[in-house]
Amino acid sequence: MNPARASGAPEPMRIGPEPDTIGRWLDALALMRGIPRREFASLRVELEDHLRERVRELMVAGMKESEASTVAIKEVGDAASFARSYTSAVHSNRRRYSMATAGLVFVAAAGIAVGGFAFSAERGAERGDERWFNQSERSVMPAQSEGTFDDSLLETKISIDVDEMELREVLGFIAASCGKQIDPYKRAFSEDDLTYQVALDFKDAPLRSVLAAINSQLEEQGVQIDARIRDGVIVFAPPTMFDIEERELVAYKIAERLRNPHIELEAITTAIQDFVEPDQWVDNGGEVSRISIVDDVVFIQAPPRVQAQAEWVIDQFLDEEVVGTTINVRPHLHEGHDGGEVRLELVPEFTPIPTKVTLPGTSTGAR
Amino acid sequence: MEHAAIYRVLIYHMEKSKQKLREDDTEIMVLAVLAERRAYGYLIMKEVASRSERATSVSPSLLYPLLARLERDGHITSDWDEVKADPQADSPGRRRKWYEITDKGRRRLGQRVQAHRLYVRMMSAFLGAHERAEGEA
């Protein structure tokens, strides 16, 4: 018996159904920022089903409804944390480093330790694209569009000294300093993005450094800027946009050159996606680079910078002897001993030297 | 590479992955459940708890964002169904979202499992050394 009623106190007046704890929690979630409205409607129905099902099970196990609702909601956590967790997982491209990464690091490291890899830093550095693979092993899809971007402007020296200035004005100032018309690539930035304030103090510094400073200040706002010249106009856009525009599709036919013929091509593609700019890959939630295996061919669609690093990873799995003896034999003019005689020779491009391994160069952009 | 250097690389990656380790494990578990049957969120949670003999569980705050991400990336697909407490009742029931793994998701699961096995194999080497050392002591 309710002690309050036993003492004669009036029962509290109740209007309508008992407050619904689950409904209140879902309403609270609706108020949180970050989950797009179009996704929330579906998520709400799904979470309500989850919570009601959980409550039903707890009640079958003997709990009262109110108690079961409280437990079910406590398991989901508070609405703000849930919204953060959802937004971070679904709308962030940040790569999730994994145990897989650690495992593959070990495999690669162990391979180096036992002398399985015999490459030199010099060798890695001097290899151009065409030097890494035979034509039969690496082929590039012909370009499908014209009017490529030119990043040489990033070396342009500019001076800028502003305490607090809107990004829109800063970009205009930079374009004027470079003597170019501006195309702010409006699709890439929202009006709000362009109102962020930045402070800069550079004298005769390359544009690359100025953009890096801007990016550092706007990191928390999620705005990143790079610049290129196209058709004589300066284009400002996020690095990702340029990466997408500059992608090339390359096919690698490497199955017959694998040092360990039992290794799965998928293990190699996983290593590439774990080590080479993991955020970029579509399989990792990124939006720039793709990798897939069809039959025995590995296709990689990525910007040249990423292709070069992916090739380095692939190369770690290839047979050393085959690399050293079958590719990159070139005509070479050789001066004979008898004074001036010139004859044609074929010489290997480079010789494997067992020493440390390094990953080839990084970004050309302002990051 | 010296063993000490290998260790340093490992520790570096373990440290970096600490926050996200559980998320990757969860991904394997969820895809593995869906590789066998279509399921809805709460069912997946129960299945994970059951298979692990209650040794682990997936919290809803981890599960639903993960399902959304997997669906966004094409690793799983979903459709809706209606659930009624009383199948004879005329009133509409609750809507339930069912998930199914795609071919891409199966490939993803295969890659994750393979990578995880490599990791387990690597760790086993160290655990074996530790156990031998403890045995000698």
The pLDDT of residue A185 is: 55
The pLDDT of residue A94 is: 38
Q: Which of the listed ranges A244-248, A271-275, B35-39 does the model predict with the highest average pLDDT?
A: B35-39
* pLDDT > 90 fraction of chain A, expressed in percent and rounded: 11
Q: Is the CB of residue B64 less than 8 Å away from at least one CB of chain A? A: yes
pLDDT above 70: residue A110: no
DSSP structural state of residue A150: B
ipTM of the complex: 0.78
CB A266, CB B114: distance < 8 Å = yes
| Residue A339 region by backbone torsions, left for phi larger than 0, else alpha for psi between -120 and 50, else beta | left
Whether the model clears a pTM of 0.90, i.e. scores above it, the answer is no
Instruction: Give CA angle at B15 (B9, B18), nearest 5°.
Output: 135
Contact A106 B118 (CB under 8 A): yes
Q: Return the minimum-mean-pLDDT range out of A68-82, A102-116, B7-21, B72-86.
A: A102-116
Q: Model confidence at A168, in pLDDT bands (50, 70, 90)?
A: confident
Please give the residue of chain B at the shortest CA–CA distance from A54: B42
Q: Could you tell me the two tokens for B55? A: 């040794």
Cα separations in angstroms, A13 against A6, A8, A9, A10, A16:
17, 15, 12, 9, 10
Residue A37: half-sphere exposure toward Cβ, Cα within 13 Å: 0
Kindly report the number of other CB atoms within 10 A of residue A119's CB atom: 22
Rounded to whole angstroms, the Cα distance separating B27 from A146 reads 41
Q: Could you tell me the two tokens for A291? A: 């990798």
Q: Model confidence at B9, in pLDDT bands (50, 70, 90)?
A: low
Strand pairing of A248-253 and A342-348?
A: unpaired
Please state the separation of Cα A211 from the chain's center in Å. 19
The pLDDT of residue B4 is: 54
Q: Return the minimum-mean-pLDDT range out of A19-28, A105-114, A191-200, B122-131.
A: A105-114
Mean pLDDT of the region B31-46: 95
Residues A21-60: tens digit of each pLDDT? 898 899 888 877 667 777 888 999 999 999 999 999 999 9
Residues A12-31: tens digit of each pLDDT? 333 334 458 898 899 888 87
Contact A109 B5 (CB under 8 A): yes
Q: Which of the listed ranges A230-234, A310-314, B66-70 does the model predict with the highest average pLDDT?
A: B66-70
The larger pLDDT score, comparing residue A172 to residue A132, is at A172
The pLDDT of residue A142 is: 58
Of A110, A113, A285, the CB nearest to B69: A285
Give chain A positions within 8 Å (CB) of B119.
99-100, 102-103, 106
Q: Return the minimum-mean-pLDDT range out of A99-103, A155-159, A284-288.
A: A99-103
Q: Model confidence at A11, in pLDDT bands (50, 70, 90)?
A: very low
Q: List residues bridging with A365 in a β-sheet.
A: none
pLDDT above 90: residue A104: no
pLDDT above 60: residue B16: no
What average pLDDT is seen over chain A?
A: 70
The pLDDT of residue B66 is: 93
CB-defined contacts A:B, below 8 A: 147
Of B17, B66, B112, the CB nearest to A89: B66
Instruction: Name the B residues in 75-134 with CB < 8 Å from any A CB.
Output: 83, 94-97, 107-108, 110-112, 114-116, 118-122
Amino acid at the residue A235: V
Of A43, A88, A285, the CB nearest to B64: A43
The pLDDT of residue B36 is: 95
Q: Return the minimum-mean-pLDDT range out of A302-316, B5-19, B69-83.
A: B5-19
pLDDT above 60: residue B35: yes
Q: Model confidence at A328, in pLDDT bands (50, 70, 90)?
A: very low
CB A314, CB A272: distance < 8 Å = yes
* pLDDT > 90 fraction of chain B, expressed in percent and rounded: 36
Please state the separation of Cα A260 from the chain's center in Å. 29
CB neighbours of A244 closer than 8 A, spacing ≥ 6?
A: A287, A288
Residue of A35, A40, A42, A46 to mutate, testing the B interface (most B Cβ within 10 Å of its Cβ): A46
CB neighbours of A11 closer than 8 A, spacing ≥ 6?
A: A4, A5
The pLDDT of residue A151 is: 78
The larger pLDDT score, comparing residue A194 to residue B109, is at B109
The dihedral sign for the CA sequence A79, A80, A85, A87:
positive
Residues B76-125: tens digit of each pLDDT? 999 999 887 777 777 778 899 999 999 999 998 988 888 878 877 877 77
Q: State the distance between the two ends of chain A, measured CA to CA, in whole angstroms.
A: 70
Please give the residue of chain B at the shortest CA–CA distance from A357: B1
